[in-house]
Amino acid sequence: MKIALVGSPNVGKSVMFNNLTGKYVNVSNYPGTTVEVSRGKARIGGIDFEVVDTPGMYSFLPITEEERIARKIILDENPTIILHIVDAKNLERMIPLTFQLLEARLPAILVLNIMDEAEKLGIKINSKILEKELGIPVIETVSTTGRGIDILKGKIEEYVRKKFI
C-alpha cells in the first residue's frame, strides 16, 4: 500500500509527511536528478503504508523537472491513495490539479491544509459541499498542529478497507 503526497510547493506536504510517518524518513535524490523525494513508512489502522512526499507540482501537465518527477511517481508507482494537499487560503488557485487527478481517475483525497490561516482571513469553505461536488473525501487540516490528522488517517483507513480488504 502506498500513499503519495502531491501539491504545490509550500502547502505543508513535508509537515504532513512527518505527521504520517513519525520519525522514519529516507530522503534521496530521484534517480538521475538532483530532485529530492522523501519516503517513509506509516501504520494507519493496522495497515502498513509506504508514504512518498513528491516534489511540488502545480499541474498534472509537467513543465518543470520537479513536476515531471511527481507525475512519473504518480503514474509509475501506482499509489493506493493520493493526498492532494492544498493551502486552504488559495483553494481557487490549487483546485485545478484536483480536477486533473480526478479526470485521470486517480484515487484522491483532497486535504485542505493551513485551515487556521484561512479562518483568520475570514475564508469559509464548506468541505461537505465540496466533498459532494467532487465525489471524493475532503478533509480540513492544520498539519503544523496536528488538527485533522486523525480524521485524515480514518479516511485513509476507510478507503483502503472498502477498496482492498
pTM: 0.94
Confidence tier at 138 by pLDDT (50, 70, 90): very high
Nine cell digits for residue 40 = 517513509
Q: How far is Cα 66 from Cα 35, in angstroms, rounded to an integer?
A: 7
| pLDDT of residue 17 exceeding 90 | yes
Q: How many domains does the chain have?
A: 1
Closest CA to 84 of 2, 164, 8, 158: 8
Give buried/exposed letters for 72-88 (b at 16+ CB in 10 A, else e): ebbeeeebbbbbbbbbb
pLDDT at 24: 55
Question: What residues make up the domain containing 107?
Answer: 2-164
pLDDT mean over 150-164: 94
User: Nine-digit cell at 114?
Assistant: 493551513
> How much of the chain, in percent, has pLDDT values that exceed 90?
87
For residue 70, give the CATH number of its domain: 3.40.50.300
As a whole number of angstroms, the distance between CA 23 and CA 45 comes to 18
Strand, helix or coil at 64? coil
Secondary structure letter of residue 90 according to DSSP: G
pLDDT given for residue 164 in this prediction? 80
pLDDT reported for residue 27: 57
The values of phi and psi at residue 46, to 5°, are 80, 5
Q: What is the mean pLDDT of the chain?
A: 93
Position 33 pLDDT exceeds 70: no
Quick: pLDDT tens for 54-106.
999 999 999 999 999 999 999 999 999 999 999 999 999 999 999 999 999 99
Q: In whole angstroms, what is the distance from residue 32 CA to residue 28 CA?
A: 11
> Tell me, what's the pLDDT at 40?
93
